[in-house]
Amino acid sequence: MHSVSSRPDIADHYTKGDLLTRIQAALRDDGVDPDAAGVAALAPYDQFHGRGLEVTEEIAGTLSVAPNDHLLDVGSGIGGPARYFAERFGCRVTGIDLTEEFCQVAQRLNALVGLEERVRIHQGDALAMPFEAASFDGVYSMNVSMNIADRAALYGEIRRVLKPGGWLVLSEIALGPGGPLDYPTPWAESADASFLTTPEQTAEDLRAGGFADITWRDTREEALAFGARSRAMVERGEKPPHRAVQMIHGDGAATMAANMNRGFAEEAILPIEVFCRKPG
Ligand SMILES: C[S@@+](CC[C@H](N)C(=O)[O-])C[C@H]1O[C@@H](n2cnc3c(N)ncnc32)[C@H](O)[C@@H]1O
């Protein structure tokens, strides 16, 4: 039996406190009124996964989503991807996340951009979701599975809530052939809180979980290029496009990002995008 309280370690890792106040201060520093910020102004801070908005746009570009579709965002964080999908497609998005502060901030930001009706957030565990079977047209999850040891339970729960024929997209960090990976990373303080599988094992686990049409691609080259572009911007005294790791983790962020980027360079880890479908 899984419950929210069974994973306080995960919520602790992501909770530094005063997140909304810190986002508002960053927006002011960007010259944006924090009471009138739109989805685009929030994007440097609320897309909490590698390459940020670039990946969300990339994935959205592969999907066809109708305005009456209902999507599920598993591990929705502070809701940046959910607001982006809702705004781009005019659809409804439900997010679920373990971390209470993230859920509270997500709800405040939904209201700020006028999406509180179409983007709903639940605090809860992806391994025991409070949703009816076959309720979603599509499910996506970005940089979440690295916190989840029981992949069979995760994929089983996603399959349960997906409608027959519905799609699943995972954007995540997989185990690569190089290594070792140094910790902390943005998703885990230490190796014992990090659960990585190879891309091949991920595809195999999805197949065993009843998914079909499974394809995946390794986006390591894109991650390295994005890192180089961001470093060049910082050297020129500009703000990099993706500032969520710094926003969420504060002082620890630089070491986490350096460990992750070295992991990409040495192929200890691989960023991947996985696409599959629940048979109709
Ligand atoms: C790196 S953040 C990504 C947030 C969001 N997907 C995004 O891309 O902006 C990982 C998120 O996964 C959530 N998470 C980890 N394990 C979870 C679980 N078992 N159930 C629900 N959420 C979980 C964490 O609370 C955190 O918000």
pLDDT digits (tens, 9 = 90+) for 24-62: 999 999 999 999 999 999 999 999 999 999 999 999 999
Contact between 52 and 230 (Cβ < 8 Å): no
Residue 71 lies in a domain: yes
| pLDDT band at residue 227 under the 50/70/90 scheme | very high
* CA 60 to centroid of ligand 1, rounded, Å: 19
User: What's the pLDDT at 179?
Assistant: 84
- Express each pLDDT in 66-92 by its tens digit: 999 999 999 999 999 999 999 999 999
d(CA 165, CA 137): 8
User: What's the pLDDT at 3?
Assistant: 38
Dihedral of alpha carbons 73, 75, 76, 81, sign? negative
Instruction: Tell me the pLDDT of the chain averaged across its residues.
Output: 95
Report the candidate in 27, 22, 47 with the shortest Cα–Cα distance to residue 38.
27
* CA 134 to centroid of ligand 1, rounded, Å: 22
User: What's the pLDDT at 5?
Assistant: 41
Residue 149 lies in a domain: yes
d(CA 280, CA 270): 31
| Helix axes of 19-29 and 100-112: crossing angle, nearest 10 degrees | 40
Residue 235 lies in a domain: no
Cα–Cα separations (whole angstroms), residue 166 to 12, 60, 78, 133: 33, 15, 25, 12
- Find the residues whose C-beta lies inside 6 A of ligand 1: 7, 10, 14, 47-49, 75-77, 80-81, 96-99, 102, 125-127, 142-144, 147-148, 187
Interval 261-279 mean pLDDT: 97
One-letter amino acid for residue 228 of the chain:
A
Q: What residue's CA is closest to ligand 1, atom 13? A: 75
d(CA 90, CA 270): 32
pTM of the predicted model, to two decimals? 0.96
* CA 237 to centroid of ligand 1, rounded, Å: 31
Residue 138 lies in a domain: yes
Residue 226 lies in a domain: no
* CA 279 to centroid of ligand 1, rounded, Å: 26
* CA 201 to centroid of ligand 1, rounded, Å: 21
- Express each pLDDT in 162-201 by its tens digit: 999 999 999 999 999 998 999 999 999 999 999 999 999 9
User: What's the pLDDT at 2?
Assistant: 37
Site to probe by mutation for ligand 1, drawn from 94, 144, 158, 245 as the one with most ligand atoms within 8 Å of Cβ, is: 144
Residue 206 lies in a domain: yes
- Express each pLDDT in 121-156 by its tens digit: 999 999 999 999 999 999 999 999 999 999 999 999
Site to probe by mutation for ligand 1, drawn from 42, 59, 97 as the one with most ligand atoms within 8 Å of Cβ, is: 97
* CA 74 to centroid of ligand 1, rounded, Å: 7
User: What's the pLDDT at 269?
Assistant: 98
* CA 229 to centroid of ligand 1, rounded, Å: 26
Torsion of CA 26, 27, 31, 37, to 10 degrees: 180
Give the CATH number of the domain where residue 168 resides. 3.40.50.150
User: What's the pLDDT at 1?
Assistant: 32
Domain encompassing residue 43: 4-174+191-221+271-277
d(CA 212, CA 21): 43
- Express each pLDDT in 237-246 by its tens digit: 999 999 999 9
* CA 147 to centroid of ligand 1, rounded, Å: 8
Does residue 8 register a pLDDT over 90?
A: no
Residue 61 lies in a domain: yes
d(CA 154, CA 144): 10
Please count the structural domains in the chain: 1
Contact between 118 and 91 (Cβ < 8 Å): yes
**Closest atom, ligand 1, to C-alpha of 102:** 27
Site to probe by mutation for ligand 1, drawn from 9, 10, 51 as the one with most ligand atoms within 8 Å of Cβ, is: 10
Contact between 93 and 119 (Cβ < 8 Å): yes
**Closest atom, ligand 1, to C-alpha of 79:** 9
First vs last C-alpha separation in the chain: 29
Residue 254 lies in a domain: no
